[in-house]
Structure 1
Amino acid sequence: MFKSVAQVKRGSLPLVASLLLRSSSSRANNKGILANKVAVITGSTDGIGFAIARRLAQDGAHVVVSSRKQQNVDRAVAALQGEKLSVMGTVCHVGKAEDQERLVAKALEHCGAVDILVCVAGVNPLVGSTLGSSEQVWDKILSVNVKAPALLLSQLLPYMESRGEGSVVLISSIGVYLPEPKLGAYNVSKTAILGLTKTLSMELAPKNIRVNCLVPGLIDTPFSQVLIKDQDLQQTMKTAYKIQRIGRPEDCAGLVSFLCSPDASYITGENIVVAGFSPCL
């Protein structure tokens, strides 16, 4: 892998320039708050991840999308390129080391650098209680939801450092503040993301790399259908928190773009809720 990376760094600057400096007909050229930035986004072929990919590309970044299935990657790339956005994609199951390595290699091969990492990919193989989760369920949830973002960042870190600055956004869940009994182990994994954000923000601050966390509420995505279909839960939320609608993926995208932009250069270690209400003081 690193042989190809070295070749990219030595010999493909014209390719990088052509990717990052698109024609004036493209929205992903020298315009926008993320102009000439390269963003790697996991779990970005639908839902919140896809909305973030679109917004970052609209704001000028060259975006690398990824997910587990080639057909989903192809569909997402075609849709975004159809909007004249600067996007490429590759298959990546973040729980597999070889897929992480391929994602890093592809990003560097095509873009020559990485400035932004957004970790959206997550799993929840069991709808059930915390103590009802088997060891296999725990291993899968913690491997993909907690361990994978840290390991992927460790691979990308040298290339982000070489740029002199960087931004990382991790994705948690409103369940860390208001646990849903149906999602026991998943809630625990997303609580760990808050701690990972705080710890990494302190570790990476001297390198001028910021780490923040998006905490989505109830957002209408394929991943959240088990909750979306729960009419009693929706009514409870509307009554208790006065929110009168379910969130949309686009409700999250603008915040992530802001956190990755120069406007947020003095913000790190924050866990920011996007839920239509605040569960915090």
Structure 2
Amino acid sequence: MDLSSVFSLEGKVALITGASKGIGFSIAEIFAAAGAKVVISSRKQDALDGMAEKLRSKGYVGSGIACNVGNMDELPALVEKTVALYGTIDILVNNAATNPVFGPVHETSLEAFDKIMNVNVKAAFELCRLCYPHLRKSSGASVINISSIGGISPEHGLGIYSVSKAALISLTKVFAKEWGDSKIRVNAICPGLIQTKFSEALWTNEKIMSMIMKQLAIKRAGTSEEIGAMALFLASSASSYTTGGVFTADGGFTI
């Protein structure tokens, strides 16, 4: 067996949201290294331009397209521009997420609730719908939703964020079941504590880290590259019989 071909994304086009840094960019870089043409998206075009140039400087094929995924009106243009650039979409990674609140769930405002659900769930749903006509034409279509261990068991102080990530897991399973006949695989990754800007408030707090370390089998924070490697498995033919799966990458936190 030629393992290089099993994990190859040669000829594939991948659209990745929330990808100007952290987990999203690591996924984009690993996909590009595996041969994919990648479109990275986030809210700010200048940040994307710099990161896309970083990809191209390594000989990869990549472009940045700005989009606020919390605004449903911007999503069609993101898909249209991606197809205009590279002709199709084979892989969709719904990674963009937000969490503007930390504290008791009853103190979460309706405005914050709506923002969290729009970015973390509704955008993923709508992008799946918009990408469907292109995904169904692909010989190896894959959708990867980046959920969280909070979607499996609610995290302290992250109530509605956890609710949104649980909804994303359910959404993953619904699409996986309904899109099987279209040969589109849909899976979810649930990261634990990953050392990114998004989780900085956690891994820079010694008290919180001490508590977390007691619950980990692998006693360290994870890296965004480790999530990217799992995403490569789910995007490639290595996982050709895998759909509706929920994969934890959490150092054993949920054991």
Distance 2:128 2:6 in 1: 27
Is 1:199 matched with 2:143?
Answer: no
* Cα separation, partners in 2 of 1:98 and 1:176, compared to 1, 3 Å: closer
Distance 1:79 1:257 in 2: 20
User: Does the 8 Å contact 2:147/2:188 carry over to 1?
Assistant: yes
Which residue matches 1:54?
Answer: 29
Q: Of residues 156, 164, 167 in structure 2, which corresponds to 1:189?
A: 164
Distance 1:188 1:32 in 2: 33
Distance 2:190 2:7 in 1: 25
User: Does the 8 Å contact 1:36/1:62 carry over to 2?
Assistant: yes
What pairs with 1:65-76 in structure 2 (closer than 5 Å)? 65-76=40-51
> How far off its partner does 1:66 sit?
0.6
Larger radius of gyration: 1
User: Does the 8 Å contact 1:142/1:189 carry over to 2?
Assistant: yes
Q: What is the root-mean-square deviation of aligned Cα atoms in Å? A: 1.6
Which residue matches 2:99?
Answer: 124
> How far off its partner does 1:182 sit?
1.7
Distance 2:73 2:107 in 1: 31
SS of 1:277's equivalent in the other structure is: coil
> How far off its partner does 1:164 sit?
4.3
* Cα separation, partners in 2 of 1:196 and 1:33, compared to 1, 3 Å: same
Any stretches of 5+ residues in structure 1 without a counterpart?
1-29
Distance 1:234 1:242 in 2: 14
Residues 54-94 of structure 1, C-alpha deviations (whole Å, 9 max, x = no match):
00000010001010011111111011111111101110111
Q: Which aligned segments of 4 or more residues in structure 1 are displaced greater than 4 angstroms?
A: none
User: Does the 8 Å contact 1:31/1:59 carry over to 2?
Assistant: no
> How far off its partner does 1:97 sit?
2.5
Distance 1:159 1:278 in 2: 37
User: Does the 8 Å contact 2:33/2:60 carry over to 1?
Assistant: yes
Is 1:230 matched with 2:205?
Answer: yes
Distance 1:193 1:100 in 2: 18
* Cα separation, partners in 2 of 1:85 and 1:164, compared to 1, 3 Å: closer
User: Does the 8 Å contact 1:171/1:214 carry over to 2?
Assistant: yes
User: Does the 8 Å contact 2:7/2:232 carry over to 1?
Assistant: no
Paired residues, number: 251
Distance 1:174 1:32 in 2: 26
Distance 1:116 1:270 in 2: 16
Distance 1:67 1:157 in 2: 21
Q: In structure 2, what residue type is equivalent to 1:272?
A: F
User: Mean Cα displacement is larger for which, 81-90 or 48-57?
Assistant: 81-90
Which residue matches 1:208?
Answer: 183
Tell me the percent identity: 38
Any stretches of 5+ residues in structure 2 without a counterpart?
none
SS of 1:91's equivalent in the other structure is: coil
> How far off its partner does 1:99 sit?
1.9
What pairs with 1:1-281 in structure 2 (closer than 5 Å)? 33-277=8-252, 279-280=254-255
Q: In structure 1, what residue type is equivalent to 2:160?
A: A
User: Does the 8 Å contact 1:31/1:60 carry over to 2?
Assistant: no
User: Does the 8 Å contact 2:144/2:231 carry over to 1?
Assistant: yes
Distance 1:31 1:217 in 2: 27
Distance 1:111 1:31 in 2: 22
* Cα separation, partners in 2 of 1:156 and 1:64, compared to 1, 3 Å: same
